[in-house]
Amino acid sequence: MTRRLEDLASPHLSGLIPYSPGKPIEEVEREFGVSDSVKLASNENPLGPSPRALQAIAAALPGLHRYPDGGGYALRQALARHWNVCADWLILGNGSNELLELVGRSFLQPGDEVLYARQAFVVYEMVAQMTGATKVAVPLKDFAHDLPTMQAAITAKTKLIFVANPNNPTGTCVDPRALEAFLAAVPRDIVVVLDEAYYEYLPPELRPDTLQFVRGGRWLLVLRTFSKIYGLAGLRIGYGIGPAELVGLLNKVREPFNTNSLAQVGAAAALADDAHVSASRAANDAGRTFLVERFRRMGLPVVPSVANFLLVDVGRPGAQVTEALLRRGVIVRPVAGYGFPTHLRITIGTASENERCAAALQAVLGA
C-alpha cells in the first residue's frame, strides 16, 4: 500500500496553519500595480537600521567565506555588559522566533500543557501545536493579558507559559508590578518565556524588572530582538536571557551556526548606538500620538498602545479595508485570525507614512 506524504509527516502538522507574514512591498506593487507604497504591516523600524550597524556590516563583508562564530562570543559579551548578566545566561537566535521554537523542542511533549493568552503572538500556539502539547489559551481582558486568570489556569501538567509584554497584536502592556507578582507566584517548576520584543519602546516606569527573576534562578527566559527598535529585522537576530542551566538545554537543540556573521556584528553595533534607539523611540512616540489623534477624529476606537503599532477598529471586515488600502499603496495587517475581525494592526511609520496611512484610511472608510 502506498502511503500518503501527510501520513509520513508528524501527526501534529495536520492542524498547523503556516505563519502568514506581512506582504512584502514588491509583491503588493506587482499585484496592485502601485508604486511608492508604504509598509506598515510588520512592526519594523521606519527609520531603518542604525548607521553604525551598517558600517560594521560593511566592514565584515570580506569575511563572508568563513563560518560565523557559532557561540556568538562577541555579541554575547556585549549583551552581558549591557544588561549586567553573565555571558552564559545568553543565547542568540535567528530572530527571537527561533528561540520560541527551541523552547518548544527542548521542553514540550504530547500531554504537556502550554499556557498563553489567546490573542497573543501566534507563534506560541504554533509551538504548542507542532510539539503535540495541549494548548491552554486564556482570553485577553480589555485587550491585555489577564494574569490572574492565567495564574488560575495553571495545573500540575502546565510545563510552559508564554507571556508577551508588550503584547502583539494589541500593543498593550501589563502593570509592571502585577507582572512581577505573577512571576513570583508561578510555581518554580514551570518554565516561563517572557517575550519582550517591544521592550525598548516602553517608558522606564512601565518596564518590569524581569531580569531579577533570572538572577534569582527562576526558569525564566526573557526574549528580546534586534528586529524592532534596532531596525535589523532583515538580519534575523534576537536573544534570550535565562539561567545558565536553561540556556544550556536550549543550546543542545540549537543549530551550530544559527546566527550569521553579519547579524552578529550588526547587532553589536546597533546595541551601542544609543542615539539611534532614542531617536527611534521619540519618532515612534510622536507618530503614535499623531495616528491616535487622527483615528479618534475619524471616530475609530484605538487600543491604547505602548508599542510601535496600533490596533484600530475600522468597524467593517478588516480584510476588505486592508485590500482597499493596498490599492492605495498602504500595507497594513488584518487581524481576524486573532479574533479581531474588524480591527487592523498598523505599524507606526515616519511622519509622511503616517499621514499617508491616515489619509488613505479616511478615503477608504468615507467611500
Residue number of the CB atom closest to ligand PLP? 95
Nearer to ligand PLP, 164 or 220 (CB): 164
Q: 41, 23, 40: which is closest to 32 by C-alpha?
A: 23
CA atoms of 218 and 71, how far apart (whole Å) = 23
165 lies in the site for ligand PLP, by CB under 6 A: no
200 lies in the site for ligand PLP, by CB under 6 A: no
Contacts of 285 (CB under 8 A, 6+ apart): none
Report CA dihedral (158, 215, 222, 114) to the nearest 10 degrees: 0
Nearer to ligand PLP, 28 or 163 (CB): 163
233 lies in the site for ligand PLP, by CB under 6 A: yes
CA atoms of 141 and 47, how far apart (whole Å) = 33
Nearer to ligand PLP, 113 or 195 (CB): 195
225 lies in the site for ligand PLP, by CB under 6 A: yes
Q: Based on C-alpha coordinates, what's the Rg of the chain?
A: 21
210 lies in the site for ligand PLP, by CB under 6 A: no
Contacts of 298 (CB under 8 A, 6+ apart): 358, 361, 362, 365
How far is CA 97 from each of CA 94, 104, 111, 124, rounded to the nearest angstrom? Answer: 7, 11, 23, 10
Residues 326-365 that bind ligand PLP (CB under 6 A): none
Q: 322, 361, 176: which is closest to 184 by C-alpha?
A: 176
Minimum Å gap between C-beta 343 and ligand PLP is 16
125 lies in the site for ligand PLP, by CB under 6 A: no
Nearer to ligand PLP, 68 or 166 (CB): 166
Nearer to ligand PLP, 147 or 364 (CB): 147
Sole binder of ligand PLP in the list 101, 113, 125, 195 (CB under 6 A): 195
Contacts of 73 (CB under 8 A, 6+ apart): 87
227 lies in the site for ligand PLP, by CB under 6 A: yes
CA atoms of 251 and 189, how far apart (whole Å) = 20
C-alpha cell at 118: 489567546
C-alpha cell at 279: 531617536
Sole binder of ligand PLP in the list 89, 116, 121, 230 (CB under 6 A): 121
Residues 78-117 that bind ligand PLP (CB under 6 A): 95-97
Minimum Å gap between C-beta 227 and ligand PLP is 3
Q: How many chain residues bind ligand PLP (CB under 6 A)?
A: 13
Minimum Å gap between C-beta 100 and ligand PLP is 7
Strand partners, 241: 90, 222
Sole binder of ligand PLP in the list 37, 106, 168, 264 (CB under 6 A): 168
C-alpha cell at 145: 493579558
| Sites of contact with ligand PLP (CB under 6 A) | 43, 95-97, 121, 164, 168, 195, 197, 225, 227, 233, 238
